[in-house]
Amino acid sequence: MVKKKKPQIYIIDVTNRDGVQTSRIGLAKLEKTIINLYLNDMGIFQSEFGFPFTKHETNYLNANLKLQATGKELGSIRLEGWCRAMTKDIDLAFKMVPKIKHLNLSVSTSDIMLKGKFGDKKSKDDIINMMTEAVDAAYKKGAKSIGVNAEDASRSDMDYLIKFAKAAKEHGATRIRYCDTLGAEDPMNIYKRLNQLAQETEIAWELHCHNDLGMGVACSVAGAKGVIDAGQDAYINTTINGVGERAGNADLLSVLLALKYSSGFKNENLFPKGINLKKAWTFAQYASYAFDIPIPLNQVGIGSNAFAHESGIHADGALKNRRNYELYDYEELGLGETKVVETGRMITVGEYSGIKGFRNVYGKLAIEFKDDNEAAKILELARYANVHTQKSLTENELYFVARYPEIARLIMTVTP
């Protein structure tokens, strides 16, 4: 008899899809690339890295796949694209990003959205047919894994969700995404629903929770537990610093810390395999800079008050034994190292900087160029990178441009 493997939790980060589609915030394609690099460094299972049917994304998407294929970067993270569950999106996606292997296909499943979006033009069975045709088309074009997203699942009828998921599974879908699109769920309810869904459909489920009621993280972990208790793998969708539509998505670090340290999870051994939190702080700082969204003082794990104590009893207690007032160690999140802040003269670089200025900055990063010719080429490209991000380049962006100039060139190329 084959012993069934213990179900596990995986993280699918959706910063580069849900995060960037948020009102008034966005990322340059180079910044999206750096986010993918960080996610891979942290050992995240999958990055929903963009929209393969959207023209201005395709150079960035192709370049990231190309970078991964070199074997030098983006090790084993799955780079997955988001499409509507329509064959025309699939056709376009594979035409523009031919090497894409992982997709999530999305369609609404709630009565309110189906009525609001399709009127009387499509029955609920038509929606299922449209979705399964899209799944078939994607596999035919070479997809290796497909998640099917039930948009507004939390306001969808359970019987319909079960029928929808079973149809997707019959056509080879790898898992179903339960989208709490409006953030209307609560932990107790989502546990029950996901437990029933996973039991009746016998397929893995993804939790995609928004934070409109302040419970995005709580619902994600509770829903995942419901799936695990039904014997299936669970996938949690996160974003860095919780950025996302309206009140945001489930924050990546908060979800990971909850899986590792919350009372109900800490002895369950459900913390995703291979995750390293050492870069949590630098990643959050980078994302904050790239999105231009400050990190709140009380942000979980990495806010500047996350390990601060002032009142007499707390300070005394924390100094005597950190476990008196700290649930986990800041060192684990990459905090506690001394940061050097330069004062005095500073040469910054921008799109109008001269070659000498860039050379000075690269020199400080100990990046050497083969010859003047190579230097001129990289420095010119760094200027373009600045035009592209419209912010002073960070050290990792400067490194990236110097290390992978051809990939960087492709990432930054957008031809209207």
Considering the complex, what minimum distance in angstroms separates the CB of residue 245 from Zn ion?
6
Q: Return d(Cα 176, Cα 19) in angstroms, integer.
A: 20
Nearest to 330 by CA among 258, 277, 255, 270: 277
Q: Is the distance from CB of 316 to CB of 295 less than 8 angstroms?
A: no
**206 is a contact residue toward Zn ion (CB under 5 A):** no
Q: Return d(Cα 24, Cα 340) in angstroms, integer.
A: 33
Window contacting Zn ion (CB under 5 A); options: 2-10, 14-22, 355-363, 383-391 = 14-22
How far, rounded to the nearest angstrom, does the alpha carbon of residue 279 sit from its chain's CA centroid?
15
Q: Return d(Cα 344, Cα 326) in angstroms, integer.
A: 37
CB nearer Zn ion, residue 89 or residue 397: 89
Window contacting Zn ion (CB under 5 A); options: 13-21, 224-232, 335-343, 379-387 = 13-21
Considering the complex, what minimum distance in angstroms separates the CB of residue 205 from Zn ion?
15
**13 is a contact residue toward Zn ion (CB under 5 A):** no
Window contacting Zn ion (CB under 5 A); options: 15-23, 211-219, 311-319, 399-407 = 15-23
Q: Are strands 9-13 and 46-50 parallel, antiparallel or unpaired?
A: parallel
CB nearer Zn ion, residue 15 or residue 68: 15
**251 is a contact residue toward Zn ion (CB under 5 A):** no
Tokens 């924050």 correspond to: 251
Q: Is the distance from CB of 247 to CB of 212 less than 8 angstroms?
A: yes
Closest residue to Zn ion, judged by C-beta, is 18
CA 151-152-158 angle, to 5 degrees, is: 105
Residues between 142 and 201 that touch Zn ion (CB under 5 A): none
Nearest to 43 by CA among 277, 394, 338: 277
Considering the complex, what minimum distance in angstroms separates the CB of residue 213 from Zn ion?
14
Window contacting Zn ion (CB under 5 A); options: 10-18, 192-200, 329-337, 367-375 = 10-18
CB nearer Zn ion, residue 190 or residue 306: 190
Instruction: Say how many CA atoms lie within 13 Å of 120 toward its Cβ.
Output: 0
**18 is a contact residue toward Zn ion (CB under 5 A):** yes
CB nearer Zn ion, residue 178 or residue 286: 178
Residue 220, both tokens: 């994600």
CB nearer Zn ion, residue 153 or residue 411: 153
Q: How many residues bind Zn ion (CB under 5 A)?
A: 1
Residue ranges binding Zn ion (CB under 5 A): 18
